[in-house]
């Protein structure tokens, strides 16, 4: 394979592809290899057809079409903008901020790009033409890509990367992967990825790991478990699965027989040791987790079944420094390919300048009744319960008695709320055990499996507004409650009015039930079936009613025996 420059780095030039056999596969499409030589020919044919000015918005779903578009854009001198999706509102915001020369690259003839000139990437590999293996040289300082993430406002936030940064990013990853696999190079390794290539992790660990690291990639993006298994089987070994904890758990829960895999890469969220071990056993692979961010790129890894400790790549170092505003300390990564020191939005425990433990995102920390934890920690334990297919904790805006109470949302068809709460009591401090568990069919996750704060909040509020899941709360009756002195001497019992007051207090602790009943609910019915004695343990069960009535039935159990039952409604009725 030759280059169009006498050196690879003179004048800051870096090759579009790492040195490799031009006839070896760079990609696989539907079980057929596409050679490096063919890729270079496709880039050479396509680059002159692009507009003279850019930048380009790369919307290609097929990984090979994406790689051709990326290479052609750089040869033409254009940066590529990589949005998280191709929804109309996302593209409209890009049009507003991208300038008058913005154009779109897509492999979908049906995709409309209003406000942007559209260039369709067609399969040109059957066309005749020069199939020489000349590797273009790219200025290392060139703005190669901008990874676009959506902030809390939904406006795409660009994170620009130079070609030198991307080349260095992949180089340190190749060194680590070769060490883990016990191989001198990644030549012959084929990557099958379930994550979109426009995401920083998907870009680094599929398209770029092949282009710059010597591996090959499968061009599709399989999503359903059967498709993942079929795609893995369609490419030769050694092969790697590039995925996320959410996708990996779905794949393993499916029960589908999986072909052997040599390497599993996982990122976007911490993986539980149990799931990592299950994945390694099911596929006979080494599983490596990758830690990083869109801003920093990939900076560390860990072998999850061996240790909870993360180790940075190459010469990357991490240190802590006080926050300028007096808040929690920040953790700064720097070195190797990173153009400048980059803070992480996570809470770490540093063992030394290259090793650390990860506790979760800084904005993920929560305080309940004076105790501190993180939603990531709670979610870890929730998803470790056998029978929970997916789950997430959410902290409402409203508080009861000055204390916020977490709510757990789960996809767990075979488990009841009580079983999940009982399991969490074995795993969490009591203050973090949810009083409410809501069964859902699925979460509004992104293509990477991420569940954003904004999406979860909107989803949670919508689910709580319609939820009919029973709520259970426990209350201990103090033996020295002053009411027992006069009610009644010798045979003390808790007055019915106070029991009903405890029920109403329990209702007020659930925002959705408070909204359902309104500010002045009506006691529609109440039956007192057993006395409540000093020191008793009351279990208050609230049952939201479906249909038009939408009242709340309640049962109060005293040491396991139903003591009071009844119903509250928003308006007086005849029930």
Give the domain CATH number at 407: 3.30.300.30
pLDDT digits (tens, 9 = 90+) for 2-44: 554 433 344 499 999 999 999 999 999 999 999 999 999 999 9
Q: Which tokens is 480 given?
A: 């020295």
Task: Kindly state whether residue 497 falls inside one of the protein's structural domains.
Answer: yes
**DSSP assignment letter at 570:** S
Following CA atoms 168, 174, 180, 181 in sequence, which dihedral angle do they give, to the nearest 10 degrees? Answer: 180
Write down the pLDDT at residue 182: 94
Contact 14, 140 (CB under 8 A): yes
Q: Count of CB atoms within 10 A of residue 565's CB? A: 16
Among 129-143, 167-181, 533-547, which range has the highest average pLDDT? Answer: 167-181
Backbone angles phi, psi at 466, to 5 degrees: -110, -5
Say how many domains are in the chain. Answer: 2
Write down the pLDDT at residue 208: 97
Half-sphere exposure of 29 (CA within 13 A, CB side): 14
Task: Kindly state whether residue 171 falls inside one of the protein's structural domains.
Answer: no
Residues 512 and 534 in one domain: yes
Q: Among 399-408, 457-466, 470-479, which is the least confidently predicted range?
A: 399-408
pLDDT digits (tens, 9 = 90+) for 40-81: 999 999 999 999 998 999 999 999 999 999 999 999 999 999
Write down the pLDDT at residue 491: 79
Write down the pLDDT at residue 474: 77
Write down the pLDDT at residue 120: 92
Residues 556 and 509 in one domain: yes
Q: Among 186-190, 262-266, 312-316, 362-366, which is the least confidently predicted range?
A: 362-366
CA–CA separation, 434 vs 245, rounded Å?
Answer: 23
Continuous segment of H or E residues that includes residue 505: helix 496-508
DSSP string computed for 271-336: --HHHHHHHHHHHT-EEEEEEEETTTEEEEEE-TTT-S-EEE-TT-EEEEE--TTSSS-EEEEE-T
CA–CA separation, 333 vs 322, rounded Å?
Answer: 14
Continuous segment of H or E residues that includes residue 218: strand 216-218
- For residue 98, which of 148, 153, 161, 163 has the smallest C-alpha distance? 148
Range of the domain at 558: 472-569
CA–CA separation, 176 vs 490, rounded Å?
Answer: 76
CA–CA separation, 477 vs 479, rounded Å?
Answer: 6
Q: Which is it for strands 117-120 and 103-106: parallel, antiparallel or unpaired? A: parallel
Residues 381 and 455 in one domain: yes
Write down the pLDDT at residue 282: 94
Q: Among 8-17, 94-103, 331-340, which is the least confidently predicted range?
A: 8-17
Task: Kindly state whether residue 28 falls inside one of the protein's structural domains.
Answer: no
Hey, CA dihedral for 460, 461, 465, 470, is it positive or negative?
positive
| Domain final position from 469, 498, 533 | 469
pLDDT digits (tens, 9 = 90+) for 338-385: 999 999 988 888 999 999 998 777 767 777 766 777 788 888 889 889
* In the predicted structure, residue 126 carries a pLDDT above the cut 80: no
pLDDT digits (tens, 9 = 90+) for 212-237: 999 999 999 998 999 999 999 999 99
More reliable by pLDDT, 551 or 214 = 214
Write down the pLDDT at residue 469: 63
Write down the pLDDT at residue 400: 46
Phi-psi region of 360 (alpha: psi -120 to 50; beta: other; left: phi over 0): left
Task: Kindly state whether residue 301 falls inside one of the protein's structural domains.
Answer: no
Task: Kindly state whether residue 246 falls inside one of the protein's structural domains.
Answer: no
* In the predicted structure, residue 471 carries a pLDDT above the cut 50: yes
Residues 464 and 477 in one domain: no
Task: Kindly state whether residue 556 falls inside one of the protein's structural domains.
Answer: yes
Write down the pLDDT at residue 2: 56
CA–CA separation, 122 vs 133, rounded Å?
Answer: 21
- For residue 199, which of 391, 450, 15 has the smallest C-alpha distance? 450
Q: How much is the mean pLDDT over the chain?
A: 86
- For residue 63, which of 183, 235, 180, 262 has the smallest C-alpha distance? 235
Backbone angles phi, psi at 538, to 5 degrees: -95, 130
Across the range 493-505, mean pLDDT stands at 88
Which CATH number does the domain housing residue 481 bear? 3.10.129.10
Write down the pLDDT at residue 506: 83
| Domain final position from 399, 434, 469 | 469
Residues 419 and 488 in one domain: no
Q: Count of CB atoms within 10 A of residue 55's CB? A: 20
* In the predicted structure, residue 512 carries a pLDDT above the cut 80: no
pLDDT digits (tens, 9 = 90+) for 145-204: 999 875 544 456 789 999 999 999 999 999 999 999 999 999 999 999 999 999 999 999
* In the predicted structure, residue 460 carries a pLDDT above the cut 90: no
Task: Kindly state whether residue 363 falls inside one of the protein's structural domains.
Answer: no
Task: Kindly state whether residue 387 falls inside one of the protein's structural domains.
Answer: yes
Residue 384 CA to its chain's centroid (Å): 16
CA distances from 570 to 45, 349, 440, 518 (A): 70, 50, 26, 6
């Amino acid at each position: 394979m030759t280059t169009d420059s006498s050196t690879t780095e003179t004048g800051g030039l870096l090759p579009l592809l790492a040195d490799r056999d031009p006839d070896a596969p760079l990609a696989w499409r539907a079980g057929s290899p596409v050679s490096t030589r063919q890729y270079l020919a496709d880039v050479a044919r396509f680059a002159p057809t692009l507009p003279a000015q850019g930048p380009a918005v790369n919307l290609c779903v097929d990984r090979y079409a994406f790689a051709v578009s990326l290479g052609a854009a750089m040869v033409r001198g254009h940066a590529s903008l990589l949005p998280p999706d191709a929804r109309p509102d996302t593209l409209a915001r890009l049009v507003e901020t991208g300038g008058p020369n913005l154009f779109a690259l897509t492999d979908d003839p049906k995709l409309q790009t209003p406000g942007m000139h559209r260039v369709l990437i067609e399969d040109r590999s059957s066309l005749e033409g020069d199939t020489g293996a000349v590797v273009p040289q790219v200025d290392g300082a060139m703005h190669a890509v901008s990874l676009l993430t959506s902030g809390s406002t939904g406006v795409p936030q660009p994170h620009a990367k130079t070609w030198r940064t991307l080349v260095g990013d992949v180089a340190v990853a190749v060194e680590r992967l070769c060490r883990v696999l016990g191989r001198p190079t990644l030549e012959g390794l084929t990557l099958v990825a379930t994550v979109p290539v426009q995401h920083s992790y998907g870009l680094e660990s599929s398209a770029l790991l092949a282009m710059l690291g010597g591996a090959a990639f499968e061009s599709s993006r399989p999503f359903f478990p059967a498709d993942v298994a079929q795609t893995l089987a369609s490419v030769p070994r050694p092969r790697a699965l590039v995925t996320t904890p959410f996708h990996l758990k779905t794949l393993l829960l499916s029960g589908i027989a999986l072909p052997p895999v040599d390497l599993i890469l996982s990122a976007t969220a911490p993986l539980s040791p149990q799931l990592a071990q299950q994945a390694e056993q099911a596929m006979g692979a080494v599983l490596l987790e990758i830690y990083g961010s869109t801003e920093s790129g990939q900076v560390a890894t860990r072998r999850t079944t061996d240790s909870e400790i993360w180790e940075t790549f190459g010469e990357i170092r991490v240190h802590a420094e006080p926050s300028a505003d007096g808040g929690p300390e920040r953790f700064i990564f720097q070195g190797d390919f990173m153009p400048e020191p980059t803070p992480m939005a996570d809470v770490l425990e540093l063992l030394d300048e290259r090793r650390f433990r990860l506790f979760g995102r800084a904005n993920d920390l929560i305080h309940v009744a004076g105790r501190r934890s993180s939603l990531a920690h709670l979610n870890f334990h929730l998803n470790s319960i056998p029978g929970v297919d997916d789950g997430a904790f959410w902290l409402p805006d409203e508080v009861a008695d000055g204390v916020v109470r977490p709510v757990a949302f789960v996809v767990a068809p075979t488990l009841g709320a009580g079983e999940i709460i009982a399991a969490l009591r074995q795993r969490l401090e009591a203050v973090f055990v949810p009083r409410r568990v809501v069964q859902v069919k699925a979460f509004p996750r992104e293509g990477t499996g991420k569940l954003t704060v904004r999406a979860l909040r909107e989803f949670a509020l919508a689910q709580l507004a319609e939820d009919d899941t029973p709520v259970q709360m426990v209350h201990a009756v103090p033996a020295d409650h002053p009411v027992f002195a006069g009610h009644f001497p010798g045979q003390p019992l808790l007055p019915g009015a106070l029991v009903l007051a405890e029920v109403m207090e329990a209702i007020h602790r659930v925002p959705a039930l408070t909204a359902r009943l309104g500010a002045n609910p009506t006691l529609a019915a109440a039956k007192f079936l057993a006395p409540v004695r000093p020191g008793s343990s009351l279990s208050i069960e609230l049952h939201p009613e479906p249909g038009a009535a939408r009242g709340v039935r309640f049962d109060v159990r005293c040491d396991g025996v139903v003591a009071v039952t009844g119903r509250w409604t928003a308006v007086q009725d005849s029930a």
